[in-house]
Amino acid sequence: MACAWDFQFRVLLLGDSGVGKTSLLHRYTDGQFTDTTTETVGVDFCCQEEEPEPGVKVRLQFWDTAGQERYRAVTRSYYRNAAGVLLLFDLTTRQSFDNVTEWHKEVSERTQAKPMVFMLLGAKNDLKQKRIVTQEEAQRLAENLGAPYLETSAQTGSNVSAALSLLCRELLRAARSQTQASAEECSRAYCTNEEMQKKQETKCTC
């Protein structure tokens, strides 16, 4: 039986506790704002499908990670199987912005054997009066990290779909730039329906 999608990518959401990772994910997958104060314990999982190009279906697997230090060991165990990372910070909290570099460094050090697609997101851009991090300094950080940058609001929905759609296109571009051999060697973070059909498997195992 063929898969219902052509590519599958695993995406990690990383950032300090309270920056809005879970709220962003709920807005994207459910179209609703969840103003939750409950901390993520370990890692939560959900999926969403995108069609970045006509006839090309992509399944995104999101791993919503806990930002607290006591769960860091659990979070690290998911790094090696990810194809992309959403680095989130709170535009109203300087510390969450300052810590982005450490999150990026931690992932990069543990995934040196394969390419990783990063995206930087400044969350809670609806809180204009409380904003501390400027767009200019966030853009500079994104350039230093080699990542696209967008500002989002889970409450209003601003740029949420646009950000995830852009990430999907970047993941697809990165996957296509790798040879099939190198992709199989360095990661199992994505697979294609076409490859599985060639193997004539009786069921979807990716």
pLDDT digits (tens, 9 = 90+) for 45-93: 789 999 999 999 999 999 987 645 444 555 677 788 899 999 999 999 9
As for how many domains the chain has, the answer is: 1
| Domain assignment of residue 129, yes or no | yes
| Domain assignment of residue 112, yes or no | yes
pLDDT value of position 189: 55
Q: Where are the alpha helices (DSSP H) in the chain?
A: 21-30, 72-76, 94-98, 100-110, 135-145, 160-177, 180-186, 193-199
Judge whether 24 and 88 are in contact, CB under 8 Å. Answer: yes
The CA distance from 58 to 48, in Å, is 8
Compute and round to an integer the Cα radius of gyration of the chain.
Answer: 17
pLDDT digits (tens, 9 = 90+) for 151-198: 999 999 999 999 999 999 999 999 998 745 454 544 455 555 554 444
**Nearest alpha carbon to residue 4 among 187, 197, 163, 178:** 197
| Domain assignment of residue 72, yes or no | yes
**Nearest alpha carbon to residue 167 among 91, 81, 85, 71:** 85
| Domain assignment of residue 197, yes or no | no
Host domain of residue 158: 7-188
pLDDT digits (tens, 9 = 90+) for 11-46: 999 999 899 999 999 999 988 887 765 555 456 778
pLDDT value of position 202: 36
| Domain assignment of residue 69, yes or no | yes
The H or E element spanning position 86 is strand 84-90
The CA distance from 61 to 94, in Å, is 29
| Domain assignment of residue 201, yes or no | no
| Domain assignment of residue 195, yes or no | no
pLDDT value of position 44: 74
CATH code for the domain of 142: 3.40.50.300
Phi (first) and psi of residue 146, to 5 degrees: 70, 35
| Domain assignment of residue 1, yes or no | no
